[in-house]
Amino acid sequence: MGTNSVVEICGTFTQQSTTYPSVEYVGIPTGKAYCIAKADVSGGGGNAIISDDSQIVAIAMGNVTGLGMGNASFCGPNATSATCPSLWPEGLSDDKNSCGNAPTIIDELDGFCTKPGATGTLDGVTKFGITVQQKNNSWPENIPNGFLAMESKDKGFVVTRVQHVSQTPQPGDAIAEPKEGMLLYDIQDKCIKLYNGTEWKCVERSCND
């Protein structure tokens, strides 16, 4: 399977070979591909595996017998979007009787875009920096157009965490009077949210229009 490819198996599937895995990945090392079985799958037991490749995401929406996951990322048996939200692709229906999701999943995988950064005259340099590393004499002034720069090789930036904020602010939300541009991590919804002045929305990968 290649990068961002999807195989959707809508009937029962059997992998009897214990020598060769069911799926091989041939895409870029940092990519991934989805192998989705809507019905029951089985194997020859022992060394019978789905894939040797960590880039394969295998989702089994039925029963699984005699077939190991190998190095693949695996969700199943009887997988749903609720049981493995981090592996579940956009566009995959929870209804295992619904077939033909592959084109929608591929469109979602390929639907992201990036654009070159803006070019032009430098407006200024970053004057404030926080670092836990040995400071370079030209840092943070060598970072253009910033206000504050932070760096670390082994530390993370922790955003304020709250229990929950509704998409449209409601009485009882963790933030009583949100301000436009506010960021936080919603523990219940498991995402970083941005308040745009009207709604709280999870920050998601998208085109940078």
Mode of pairing for the β-strands spanning 73-75 and 64-65: unpaired
Find out whether the peptide bond into 140 is cis, omega within 30 degrees of 0. yes
Give yes or no for a contact between 96 and 61, defined as CB atoms under 8 angstroms apart: yes
Residue 206 has pLDDT above 80, yes or no: no
Q: Which of 20-24, 91-95, 187-191 has the lowest mean pLDDT?
A: 20-24
Q: Which of 82, 72, 1, 81 is nearest to 41 (CA)?
A: 72
Q: Give per-residue pLDDT as tens, 41-81.
A: 998 888 888 899 999 999 999 999 999 989 999 999 999 99
**In the structure, what pLDDT confidence band is assigned to residue 83 with cuts at 50, 70 and 90?**
very high
pLDDT tens-digit map of 136-182: 889 999 988 899 999 998 889 999 999 999 999 999 999 999 999 99
**Is the pLDDT reported for residue 28 higher than 70?**
yes
**Whether the Cβ atoms of residue 131 and residue 143 lie closer than 8 Å to each other:** no
Q: How far apart are CA 9 and CA 62, in angstroms?
A: 11
At residue 65, the pLDDT reads 92
The average confidence (pLDDT) of the chain is 88
